[in-house]
Amino acid sequence: MIEVNSFSNNQELTAKAAQDAEQILLEAIAERGKARLVITGGTLGIQILSDLRKLGLPLEKIEIMVGDERFVPLDHADRNEYQALEAWPELANFNLRRFPATGRPVDAAADAMSRELEAEFGGIESPLPCFDLVLLGMGPDGHVASLFPDKSHAVSWVVAEHASPKPPSQRLSLSYGALNRSRAVFFLASGEAKREAAQCAIAKADCDLPAAMVGGLELTRWYVDSEISRGL
């Protein structure tokens, strides 16, 4: 089942998503002693990190990673991680898993991180959850993380993108299989340019966009503005 929450502006949207994320993370900590969170870049993705920061979450009990990363040097301003740390600097002092940076071919970097995640979580084909919450934005073309329409990838934890429609061209991303191993997935989307793709993904039927191929094992929830919710 897909839930849809609509808001009049982006500030309300991310604030509510942050509150709901806090509940999921604290419940995971209460049940299992820790929580695993996958964060995202983009305007709404970075804004929700600022909102989460204000909530005073117990970061020592939360393992965090970005869902995808631009394949550039570690200190490059284009990295999602770089922007995330600007919004929530304290993440650098806790359990932040980093994607590899340049210095080797992007395929080799993807393989190395896939092996790292497989050693921790087992084979990608397992139906068991490994994340508690995945936060995702969505592009006007329906892409999520760095998984773009009409692109296929090998079955692995992490995949390489060689020709992103938006620069930088090389990227690393959690795969569909990895993103679908989360108990909950929150999508954050706003703006008329994303309406068609979002409505397609929410309906799911006959929709082959990347956003339609990801969902939580227990909960899939969209946080959208009135531009997107109109006509749902």
- What residue type is 24 in one-letter code? I
Instruction: Report whether pLDDT(1) > 80.
Output: no
Q: With bands split at pLDDT 50, 70 and 90, how would you rate the model's confidence at 205?
A: confident
pTM of the model: 0.96
Q: Class for domain 2-182+196-229, per CATH?
A: alpha beta
At 154 the pLDDT is 86
Q: How far apart are CA 230 and CA 114, in angstroms?
A: 40
Q: Tell which residue, 100, 9, 99, 90, has the closest CA to residue 50.
A: 90
| 77, 82, 112, 168 from 73: Cα distances, Å | 9, 10, 17, 12
| Both structure tokens of 51 | 């909102």
Q: Supply the mean pLDDT for the chain.
A: 96
Domains of the chain, by residue range, sit at: 2-182+196-229
Question: Per residue in 7-61, pLDDT tens?
Answer: 999 999 999 999 999 999 999 999 999 999 999 999 999 999 999 999 999 999 9
Q: Average pLDDT, stretch 207-215?
A: 97
| 56, 114, 147 from 52: Cα distances, Å | 7, 28, 25
Question: Per residue in 94-127, pLDDT tens?
Answer: 999 999 999 999 999 999 999 999 999 999 999 9
**6 in Cβ contact with 226 (< 8 Å):** yes
Instruction: Report whether pLDDT(204) > 90.
Output: no
Q: Tell which residue, 21, 42, 13, has the closest CA to residue 224.
A: 13
Q: Average pLDDT, stretch 175-179?
A: 98
At 50 the pLDDT is 97
